[in-house]
Amino acid sequence: MQAQKDAVQLLKHAGLRVTPQREAILQFLLDYDGHATVDDIYTSLQDRFPSMSVSTVYNTVKQLSQVGLVKEIGVGDGASRFDINVEPHHHLVCTRCGALFDFYLEEPIRLSVPPEAEGFEVEDYHVEVRGVCPRCKKQQVS
């Protein structure tokens, strides 16, 4: 099976031990269309791994994100979400329903740092655009 092998390879290549749980979690994220929360992962894998604990999911996603296989995105309140898309990209967040969409910047940001932060070494940045998604716009009383 191609997909399963991918997860294993990715883990090995990242220098992580390959355990059934890790493989399943990574595979789940690879297949998942969207941005999964820890709970999404945990719940969805209950069938196959009834004994898997939440902390394992937390441990795993934390390590996956440390080795750069996934990206943690924490927008607004509630649970963090995990994104298999590790390319630099950003997010639209619907303030009504919480939906999350990826988007890309047409050009990189240019920032002017204040004197106190002179010399700040930028590692990464993330743009969170808040607004109303098309679906919620339609449902608005007009």
Partner DNA sequence: CTCCCTGCAAATCCTTTGCATACAG
Partner DNA sequence: CTGTATGCAAAGGATTTGCAGGGAG
Question: Which of 112, 139, 141, 142 is close enough to bind a second copy by CB under 8 A?
Answer: 112
Cβ-defined contacts of 2-6 (< 8 Å, 24+):
3/27, 3/30, 3/31, 6/30
Question: Which of 27, 56, 71, 84 is close enough to bind DNA by CB under 7 A?
Answer: 56
Q: Which of 7-15, 19-27, 40-48, 92-100 is the region at the interface with a second copy (rule: CB under 8 A)?
A: 92-100
**Both structure tokens of 46:** 């209950």
Helix 2-13, helix 20-31: angle, nearest 10: 120
Tell me if 37 sits within 8 A of 79, measured CB to CB: yes
**Amino acid making up residue 110:** R
Question: Which of 1, 122, 141, 142 is close enough to bind a second copy by CB under 8 A?
Answer: 122
Q: Which residues bind a second copy (CB under 8 A)?
A: 74, 76-77, 90, 92, 94-95, 101-107, 109-114, 116-134, 137
Q: Which residues bind DNA (CB under 7 A)?
A: 12, 16-22, 37-39, 49, 51-56, 58-60, 62-63, 74, 77-80
